[in-house]
Amino acid sequence: MKTENQPSSSRRDMIKKVAATSAAAFVGQSLFNRVSAAEALLSDDMKGRINHSVCRWCYGDISLDDLCKAAKAMGIKSIDLTGPEEWPTLKKYGLVCALTQGAGKGIAEGFNNPKLHDELVKSYEEVIPKVAAAGFKQIICFSGNRNGMDDAEGLKNCAVGLKRLMPIAEKHNVVMVMELLNSKVDHHDYMCDHTKWGAALCDAVGSENFKLLYDIYHMQIMDGDVIATIRKYNKYFSHYHTGGVPGRNEIDETQELYYPAIMKAIVDTGFKGYVAQEFIPKKKDKLASLKQGVQICDV
């Protein structure tokens, strides 16, 4: 019996056809010609209901200039998780950064630790105006690891620290976006690891300038029920990331999620933000994998 997450035969055949067309277009060509091939394949087919982005870190072995050229050709509008030194390159190609790099020490040391609040507030106060000056709208942040802390205490601590930053975020019209991450496989002990907890934190902060990044890969591992969760909690989500489960690789028929249905659920909520590809390509031609991911998600 076909479930909501399983592709039909016709959809599976379509995905295989896309992959085969991509491979034929890209094999044996220079990067410049691969970009041109991607543009030819995609330019007339984009539906325009999803604003596409891609995470920079997944393509670290490709220069930012080359990634920007490829992204532009594929109909991608944004390069996620870039910093101020990279933004001029994005702008050169007419791209934005839909979700910028954060401030502070990273994923494990975040707002659930009151001892870090002064440092985090200072760091974000310095970078938020830069995000706004560049014309961008969102910056990532993290809860930090539990380190033995109760979830209720951690939520309270996060709210206290984040509330200190809401005035400057509101002044500059920048949204601080906390990422939901799995603590089962990739980020052991991370606190913001369930959608319900993140939504409760949004309520506690009480500002439209604090939202959640719903990472589909991570939350499939922790919560499951991806489409039902999107329908229930979408008001808290201002950004989405993709990734194949298991393994965080290509989002094609090799994994358990059926992304066309997930993307349709996102569109049906009225979402106007960005969906960023954040899978780690296994295939040799990473740009072909990226193109395929964009096309699968372009519902």
| Number of Cα atoms under 13 Å in the Cβ half of residue 112 | 27
- State the Cα–Cα distance between residues 52 and 70, nearest whole angstrom: 13
Q: What is the pLDDT of residue 134?
A: 98
Domain ranges of the chain: 46-297
Neighbours of 64 (CB within 10 A): 18
What 3-state DSSP class applies to 214? strand
Q: What is the pLDDT of residue 67?
A: 98
Closest CA relative to residue 15, chosen from 268, 271, 251: 251
Write out the DSSP string of 117-164: HHHHHHHHHHHHHHHHHTT--EEEE---B-TT--HHHHHHHHHHHHHH
Q: What is the pLDDT of residue 105?
A: 87
Q: What is the pLDDT of residue 38?
A: 44
Strands 78-80, 175-179: pairing kind: unpaired
Topology of domain 46-297 in CATH is: TIM Barrel (3.20.20)
| Number of Cα atoms under 13 Å in the Cβ half of residue 287 | 32
Q: What is the pLDDT of residue 45?
A: 74
pLDDT tens, N- to C-terminus, the chain (299 residues): 433 333 333 333 433 443 443 344 333 344 434 444 444 444 457 899 999 999 999 999 999 999 999 999 999 999 999 999 999 999 999 999 999 999 988 999 999 999 999 999 999 999 999 999 999 999 999 999 999 999 999 999 999 999 999 999 999 999 999 999 999 999 999 999 999 999 999 999 999 999 999 999 999 999 999 999 999 999 999 999 999 999 999 999 999 999 999 999 999 999 999 999 999 999 999 999 999 999 999 99
